[in-house]
Amino acid sequence: MDHIIVSIVERLGLFGIALLMALENIFPPIPSEAIMGSAALAIERGTFTFWEILAVGTAGTLAGNYVWFLIGDKWGYERLGPFIDRWGRWLTLEWEDVEAASHFFRKHGHWVVFILRATPVMRTMISLPAGLAHMNAFKFCIFTAAGAALWNAILIGGTQWLARTFGESGWVVSGVVIATIVLSVIGYVWRLMTWKPRAKR
């Protein structure tokens, strides 16, 4: 199974991996854990190097987050509201979520961009209030890239450790990667099917 996963990643190439990481941050349900985990398996097979994957993964993450930052920065609250009202279901997001994230950003300051980008909590969501607050774009990119690099390094290094530790049982690592993808898709579909605006709950 590892060979199948590595083969898919090899076909994608570095640009494809970067593109997937960008899309993961724009629209669910592609999990960065699965993308970086699959790429880490390719590193273990000698297809790529750690630094190549870390670089393209971080670049893709930054690109995807910058899209949301620009939306917040250029559209502002007035134009963003109707967009969330129309497409919020597919993003499993509503205006109250944006307001809560904006409040969190204003309360804790610009450093939350770096901190949350390096955690599994609100990693992409924080880019929108950063844009709405018109955070300096250069600072946003630096904080986002630094946090993303740390998070991606953890994902890559963790998967490499699993691959080396359970090398004789290749199905363990590939099973984790596939399970992550399946659970992410199921989770998104479930949120989509059960999603209702707060007013109708």
Per-residue pLDDT at 169 exceeds 60 = no
Among 80, 99, 75, which residue's Cα sits nearest to residue 198? 99
pLDDT, tens only, 128-165? 999 999 999 999 999 999 999 999 999 999 989 888 88
When mean pLDDT is compared across 27-36, 135-144, 168-177, the lowest value belongs to 168-177
Can you list the pairs that 122-127 forms with residues at least 24 positions away whose Cβ atoms lie under 8 Å?
123/25, 123/151, 124/25, 124/64, 124/65, 124/68, 125/93, 125/97, 125/101, 126/101, 127/25, 127/65, 127/66, 127/68, 127/69, 127/72
Predicted pLDDT at 162: 86
Per-residue pLDDT at 2 exceeds 70 = no
pLDDT, tens only, 50-105? 999 999 999 999 999 999 999 999 988 888 888 887 777 777 777 788 888 888 88
Per-residue pLDDT at 109 exceeds 80 = yes
Per-residue pLDDT at 195 exceeds 80 = no
Q: Please give the average per-residue pLDDT across 22-38, as a whole number.
A: 84
Predicted pLDDT at 167: 66
Predicted pLDDT at 172: 72
Per-residue pLDDT at 14 exceeds 90 = yes
Place of tokens 């640009």: 15
